[in-house]
Homo-oligomer: A and B are copies of this chain.
């Protein structure tokens, strides 16, 4: 269908009165062409509306200057991450394509890499959860960088420091005087959720606070989950004075439950989230949370990938980027009176 619309390199070369190869060199900015001729060719190519055919390019084994990102599109941050990656890629004169992974697809899309490697030079895989098919990807002979795969990844990876972020969030609550701190967890399927939970356990130990299994409730990373988890926490005889929710969404669910119970945030209960989703600074109360370094993750992953593409044998690097505590309205110091009570009851931390 519709042929002969775009000129080929051969046609450009003919018009320019040079050989095909000279035109190729000129266009790909390679040595072996005199400056005048190069300029000539480029001008003519432009006038003729020449566009390289990447399919042909790829077929010969050359780079196409396209990268791909494989991601579950509606996961909280993917769109921000992708936007960042696109910008970084474009700045490096690369184009970026996205493959949208079907939601919770059971089938390994290892074949997706088989497809992509025929088109692009490298792939970034955003897989928030551990997956069997990561291994199936190892056989696809194309540079791969993973995001959010934790430190066990076979590929070079970039990830936010979920563990340190969790520590900061909890440290913040402890500094505000809280001793009875609950944790609303996410799916353990997610590497990030596990790291945040680990931070919770470790900080208790570190601050010499007792671990109460009643204070750890599953929140499913969802608003509903957070809501129900908070209800369970509020029903406890000795309810917590602060809650660390594994993500912002469930934090807001918890806040809704707390308010519905006639209590206030942060007056009665302080709440810290994780992620710093955009509305965290707009919804009331503005949420104290942990910000993920999305822009840095985007930049790091693309740069890492491009290095691999360029053949720089970057060792299987694991880049972990720092998170940041953002203090807003949803947390406050434990009231003096209750603080004293707590101190008596629990014993003074560290």
Contacts and interface: CB of A to CB of B under 8 A. Distances in A.
Contacts of A98: 73, 97-100
Number of copies: 2
A55 B59 contact: yes
Interface stretch (A21-29, A82-90, A197-205, A206-214): A82-90
A311 B83 CA distance: 34
A141 B2 contact: yes
A19 interface: no
Contacts of A5: 141
Nearest to A142: B2
A64 to B, nearest CB: 9
A235 interface: no
A272 interface: no
Contact of A73 (B68, B83, B224): B83
B99 A311 contact: no
Interface residues on A, range: 35 or more
Given A79-B79, A256-B284, A102 B114 contact: no
B97 A83 contact: no
Interface string A42-74: 000000000101111011010000101000011
A264 interface: no
A1 interface: yes
SS class, residues of chain A in contact with chain B: mixed
Given A1-B311, A55-B55, A284-B256, A95 B115 contact: yes
A287 B14 CA distance: 65
A312 to B, nearest CB: 12
A204 B113 CA distance: 55
A98 B98 CA distance: 5
B56 A83 contact: no
A297 B305 CA distance: 35
Contacts of A223: 279, 282
A68 B53 CA distance: 17
A6 B113 CA distance: 12
Contact of A86 (B100, B119, B141): B100
